A and B are shown apart, each in its own frame.
Chain A
Amino acid sequence: MKAAVFHGPKLPLTIEDVELDKPQDREVLVKTVASGVCHSDLHFVDGLYPFPAPAVLGHEAAGIIEEVGKQVSYVKPGDHVICCLSVFCGYCERCMSGHPNRCSNKAATQRSPQDKPRISQKGKAVNQFADLSGYAEKMLLHENAVVKIRDDVPLDRAALIGCGVTTGVGAVLNTAKIEPGSTVAVFGAGGVGLAAIHGARIAGARKIIAVDMFEGKLAMARRLGATDTVDASSSDPVGEITQMTGGGVDYSFEAIGLKKVAEQAFNALKPGGTATVIGMIPVGEKVEIDGYMFLTERKLQGSNMGSNRFRIDMPRYIDFYLQGRLNLDDMISRRGKLEDVNEAFRAMKAGEVARTVLMFN
């Protein structure tokens, strides 16, 4: 099958033939229908986070079950599924205490090093990225990396839920647990930021301030639920937010992955407020907080994949979509083919798109 292969930082992905093994025991083979191009992949391509090459990137995909291993009972061929990198063992302390997104026993869902690799090229292992590898015509996954969904949802929209939407909406609903009537600032109006804005709207925030450097993205943010916008290219967003809210927001979200922005998100809080960092801040960079600010009970916390329990959350997000409360249609800026993946990275860096979705026939 065809896949976009990563050979190392700063190299474009190349379209190559790779082999996929047969599903074992609890594994499933999924025909990829749509695969979103998410910013986190770019972090690895840019070398800000390391991953061993060769590998197949991609971690925001939806498709149809083609084949299942002999112990699989949750899905059957023909089922529509969303994949999620938050594969969970289901029995470690974290899984059992409501935090399967932090599963500490992922090895139980993976093949061991001496097994035949799931993905290979001429007999040599190709590393699977995030237990998924979605930039490929097919995916071989543990069944606990998929959620079954109703088959009347377009799979390109469903793919977005697989990472960006769950990360953004979940950061608001699950990680920060914002309250109705509260005030919110979202730094970064890309795919994840827009999803956070949606989440804030669903949860009943009274003021939702979108912060970005691109006017086009701020316009989109307003369309999707932001009540106010701040153009960070022409003003100090902390000063602006403090003024607009009379002292800071109850909740702020960092949806880019920049140290400086994480610090701004914290400094834009009112006393007692909570800043949630969603973006992946490059390895080696430190977020610096003025020590005395802790005296006012401000909080800084991380969010991983929207603190998801994705088998519970994703069907709910689909309901929100079908009810018109979560606009996924406008979040897809462009559609392309697998071959367009490098162009999709370029457009993302240039701030031209919320999301490109790669479509497979």
Chain B
Amino acid sequence: MKAAVFHGPGQPLTIEQVEIDEPQAREVVVRTVASGVCHSDLHFVDGLYMWPTPAILGHEAAGVVEKVGSQVSYLKPGDHVIACLSVFCGYCEECMSGHPNLCSNKAATQRAAGDKPRLSQKGQMVYQFADLSGYAERMLLHENALVKISPDVPLDRAALIGCGVMTGVGAALHTAKVAPGSTVAVFGAGGVGLAIIQGARIAGARMIIAVDKFPAKLELAKKLGATHAVDASKGDPVEEIRKLTGGGVDYSFEAIGLKVAAEQAYQSIAAGGIATIVGMIPLGQKVEVAGYSLLSEKRIQGCFMGSNRFRIDMPRIIEFYQQGRLDLDDMITRRGKLEDVNEAFRAMKAGEVARTVLMFD
């Protein structure tokens, strides 16, 4: 099959032939239909986070089940599925206490080091990224990396739910638990930021302030539910937010992965407020908060994949979409082919797109 292979930081992905093994026991082969190009992949391509090479990136995909292992009961060939990197064992302490996204026993869902690799090239292992590797025509996954969805949902829209939408909506609904009537600021109006804005709207926030440096993104943010927009290229967003709210927001979100935006998000909250860091801040960078400010009971917290229990959450997100309460259509800026993945990274960096989705035939 064809896949986009990662050979190291700073290099474009290359389209190559890769072999995929047969599904074992609880594994599933999924024919990829749509694969979103998410900012987190770019972190690895840019060398801000590490991954061993050669590898197949991509972690926001949806498709159709083609083949299942002998012990799979949850799915059958023909089922429509969304893949999620929050693969869970289902029986560790984190899984059993409602936090499968923090599963501490992922090895139970992976092949052992001595086994035949899931992905290979001329007999040599190709690393699977995030237990998924979605920039490929097929994916070989543990069944607990999948959720079955209704076949009447377009799979390009469904793919977005696999990472960016789940992360953003989940950050608002699960991690921060935005309360109705509250005030919210979202730093970064890319795919994840727009999903947070939509999550805040679903949760009933009365004021949703989008912060970005690109006017076009702020326009889209307003279309998707932001009540206010702050252009961070034209002044200090912290000041602006304090002015708009009379002292700070109840909840802020960082959806870029920048130290300075994380610190601004924290500085923008009122006493008792919660800043949630959704973006991936590069390794080695420290977020600094003034010690005395903690006396006003502020909180800064991390978020991983929207604190999802994705088998519960993703079908709910689809219902919101079908009810017209969550706009996925406008979040897909461009569609492309697997070959367009490097161009999609460029467009993302340039702030031209919320999301490019790669389509497979």
Contacts and interface: CB of A to CB of B under 8 A. Distances in A.
A295 interface: yes
A84 to B, nearest CB: 16
B295 A302 contact: yes
Interface in A271-297: 271-272, 274, 277, 280-297
Given A271-B104, A272-B94, A301 B291 contact: no
A286 B285 contact: no
Contacts of B280: 291-292, 295
A297 B301 contact: yes
Given A102-B297, A302-B299, A307-B297, A289 B304 contact: no
Nearest to B93: A270
B286 interface: yes
A356 interface: no
Interface in B291-309: 291-304, 307
A271 B102 contact: yes
Contacts of A299: 299-302
B268 interface: no
Q: State the majority secondary structure of interface residues on A.
A: mixed
A272 B102 contact: yes
A227 interface: no
B99 A304 contact: no
A293 B292 CA distance: 22
B244 interface: no
A99 to B, nearest CB: 6
Nearest to B292: A283
B290 interface: yes
A261 B294 CA distance: 14
A304 B272 CA distance: 10
B35 interface: no
A310 to B, nearest CB: 15
Contacts of A127: none
Contacts of B293: 302
Interface string A182-220: 000000000000000000000000000000000000000
B271 interface: yes
Contacts of B292: 49, 280-283
Contact of B271 (A94, A175, A293, A296): A94
Contacts of B289: 286-287, 289, 300
Nearest to B299: A301
A104 interface: yes
A26 interface: no
A297 B287 contact: no
Contacts of A325: none
B96 to A, nearest CB: 12
Contacts of B277: 291, 294
Interface string A9-39: 0000000000000000000000000000000
B291 A291 contact: no
A293 B283 CA distance: 9
A2 interface: no
A267 to B, nearest CB: 12
A282 B307 CA distance: 34
Interface size class of B (residues with CB under 8 A): 35 or more
A89 interface: no
A177 to B, nearest CB: 12
Nearest to A259: B291
Interface string B80-119: 0000000000000010000101101000000000000000
A296 B283 contact: no
A252 interface: no
Contacts of A307: 297
Interface size class of A (residues with CB under 8 A): 35 or more
Contacts of B295: 280, 302, 304
Interface string A229-247: 0000000000000000001
Interface string A94-134: 10000101101000000000000000000000000000000
A328 to B, nearest CB: 25
B163 to A, nearest CB: 14
A237 B265 CA distance: 30
A311 interface: no
B290 A286 contact: yes
A62 interface: no
A282 B292 CA distance: 7
A291 B104 CA distance: 20
Nearest to A291: B281
A285 B290 CA distance: 6
B175 interface: yes
A87 to B, nearest CB: 16
A174 B300 CA distance: 17
B180 interface: no
B77 interface: no
A42 interface: no
Nearest to B294: A302
B242 interface: no
B303 to A, nearest CB: 6
B281 A303 contact: no
Which of B99, B289, B296, B302 has the most chain A CB atoms closer than 10 A to its own CB? B302
A262 interface: yes
A7 interface: no
B140 to A, nearest CB: 25
A151 B277 CA distance: 49
Interface in B166-217: 175
B303 A286 contact: no
Interface string A308-348: 00000000000000000000000000000000000000000
B262 interface: yes
B361 interface: no
A292 B175 CA distance: 17
Q: What 10 A-B pairs are tightest by C-beta distance, nearest first?
A: A281-B291, A291-B281, A302-B294, A294-B302, A301-B299, A299-B301, A286-B288, A294-B277, A288-B286, A277-B294
9 contacts: A277-B294, A291-B285, A294-B281, A297-B99, A297-B302, A299-B299, A300-B301, A302-B296, A307-B297
